[in-house]
Amino acid sequence: MEQHQEQQLNGAMRSVSINSNGLATKLNGHIGGGSGSDETDNVRVGSAAAATLSSSTITTAENGSGRNVTSKTTNAAATATAAATTAAAATAISANANANQIQTTAGSNGNIGSASAADKKKMVYELCQQLLLTDEQVQELCYRILHELRRGLAKETHPKANVKCFVTYVQDLPNGNERGKFLALDLGGTNFRVLLIHLQENNDFQMESRIYAIPQHIMIGSGQQLFDHIAECLSNFMAEHHVYEERLPLGFTFSFPLRQLGLTKGLLETWTKGFDCAGVVNEDVVQLLKDAIARRGDVQIDVCAILNDTTGTLMSCAWKNHNCKIGLIVGTGSNACYVEKVEEAEMFDAPGNTKPHVLINTEWGAFGDNGALDFVRTEFDKDIDSHSINPGKQTFEKMISGMYMGELVRLVLAKMTNNGILFNGQGSEVLFTRGLFFTKYVSEIEADEPGNFTNCRLVLEELGLSNATDGDCANVRYICECVSKRAAHLVSAGIATLINKMDEPYVTVGVDGSVYRFHPKFHNLMVEKITQLIKPGIQFDLMLSEDGSGRGAALVAAVACREDILNSK
């Protein structure tokens, strides 16, 4: 299922304004200002305490008619205490979360199915508050993300860090003067692309490309099978485009966690996105590609650079906008890279280097694998994780990306249906089957104008739910909006943290990925939230990337060739 999600992330979404004043959550964090502590669960001392999230729990029993009824609702108020930072406020502060009890007017037997539409709407609203982030939670997220970035950058803590902050060895951004023909290979999902890109004057370029499928048996087969398949497709592409006899530079976009040892050497840390090819983890993927090309013996290629798709996105945007210093992907997965000062990147090993900056691939999808996100994770996030191909890994990504967004919505819908709140308690086999609520459904449902449920009803009919009321449709859309808005705010917390860390007066963020690209409100949600979170005086903008993982790979190769020519003079 998961490998088909990327092509399903189409359509357009519309987000209706959501009240994000959910229950407050205790701010767990770290004592002090940052990188000194390895722990993630110390209570950070602050001037105010917020209460522990206490989500509504609905327990059900069956009455004589076989319908689900509410047997009780529990929502214990929890108390969180924090010490004040100054002597004047040394008294411990405690805050009590108000119990959110679901009230119905269903009658003496408590039958939710006969509750009023207004009551059901309230139940949906209250359950969904756990999916919305308070301002306090977002601020705490920024603090924790910065802490994890510092751990990844530092030599001492890097081995244990979840956010690895891999050095890319890319130190030069495009200057617009790159010229010539370049190949690009883009591997990052169930398909991969080969591209031939001719960079010309005035930021102009010609590009030809072809998409090749990766069969399921190869995705979970041997590494040699995978790279032989890639080499065969590369050879066929070069023959089709009449460059079979030429020796062309190639940039290799490899969108998996990679520990780079140089611009053309990178070891795979772990597979993600449904791949599990044997014999590749801890191996140099450039060498594996070169070996596969050599086994064929029919084409001549110079692999000039290996890069992540976030690096490609940044480079692609920087070719046109020299302020671009951050690359972001929000698609099947999520990741970001940014320009860092060399002295901050302790893992950067380049003797004799005189350049001040280097690109860092954060691999932030793994943020929270150590529990740092537990204070905002829900039962639905934990369900997603436990049934994923990589339990306990890519925690941040599983709360954001298109691979999981549809399933998150489905889990909420299933719970509401089982409790009689949606569809009068009558679900369908499709609704209760994992992976069958596609992320494209979220797009389609949110594309309806307010008060109009045309797309929503079409989606529900595909799910085998033809008995939905307008109230059901409104509730379904609200659930989709909550999941989408949370994703946008999580991403915004990460980007704002990077912008603040870089402390440049103006930063352009290059963005790619189908969730961002096809969600007309995602951009606006991000701009609004990042504006709230960045330091005063800093300006930013978000720039949609034009084929970052393809053209960006060619640009990294072009810049590497440009540097080689300069160094040889």
204-213 tens-digit pLDDT: 778 899 999 9
* 3-class secondary-structure state, position 194: strand
Q: Assess contact for 13 and 487: CB atoms under 8 A.
A: no
Q: Considering only 70-84, 486-500, 516-530, which range has the smallest mean pLDDT? A: 70-84
Rounded Cα distance between 550 and 312, Å, is 7
Rounded Cα distance between 472 and 476, Å, is 6
**Could you tell me the pLDDT band of residue 567, with boundaries at 50, 70 and 90?**
low
* 3 vs 192, residue with greater confidence: 192
Query: Where is 386: in which H helix or E strand?
Result: helix 379-386
CA angle 325, 328, 329 (to 5 degrees): 155
* 477 vs 558, residue with greater confidence: 477
pLDDT digits (tens, 9 = 90+) for 26-43: 333 332 333 333 333 333
pLDDT digits (tens, 9 = 90+) for 512-521: 998 999 887 8
Q: Assess contact for 421 and 112: CB atoms under 8 A.
A: yes
Taking residues 374-399, what's their average pLDDT? 95
pLDDT digits (tens, 9 = 90+) for 292-344: 999 998 888 888 889 988 999 999 899 889 999 999 999 988 999 999 999 99
Q: Assess contact for 481 and 446: CB atoms under 8 A.
A: yes
Q: How far is CA 80 from CA 77, 128, 303, 508, in A?
A: 10, 22, 55, 39
What single-letter DSSP state applies at residue 511?
Answer: E
**Could you tell me the pLDDT band of residue 115, with boundaries at 50, 70 and 90?**
confident
Amino acid making up residue 356: P
CA angle 61, 64, 65 (to 5 degrees): 100
Q: In three state form, how does the secondary structure of 296-360 look?
A: HCCCCEEEEEEECHHHHHHHHHHHHCCCEEEEEEECCCEEEEEEEEHHHCCCCCCCCCCCCEEEE
How many helices (H) and strands (E) are present in the chain, helices listed first?
A: 15, 17
Q: How far is CA 325 from CA 321, 501, 505, 509, 516, in A?
A: 9, 12, 12, 6, 18
pLDDT averaged over the chain?
80
Select from 137, 120, 126 the least CA-distant residue to 99: 126
Rounded Cα distance between 434 and 440, Å, is 15
pLDDT digits (tens, 9 = 90+) for 251-295: 998 988 888 888 999 999 988 878 889 999 999 999 999 999 999
pTM over 0.75: yes
* 77 vs 502, residue with greater confidence: 502
Q: Assess contact for 477 and 518: CB atoms under 8 A.
A: no
Mind telling me the catalytic residues?
273, 309
Q: Report pLDDT for 309.
A: 86
Using left for φ > 0, alpha for ψ between -120 and 50, and beta otherwise, residue 16 falls in beta
Using left for φ > 0, alpha for ψ between -120 and 50, and beta otherwise, residue 423 falls in left
* 276 vs 398, residue with greater confidence: 398
Whether the pLDDT of residue 78 is over 50: the answer is no
Q: Assess contact for 556 and 251: CB atoms under 8 A.
A: yes
* 225 vs 564, residue with greater confidence: 225
Select from 562, 550, 567, 560 the least CA-distant residue to 194: 550
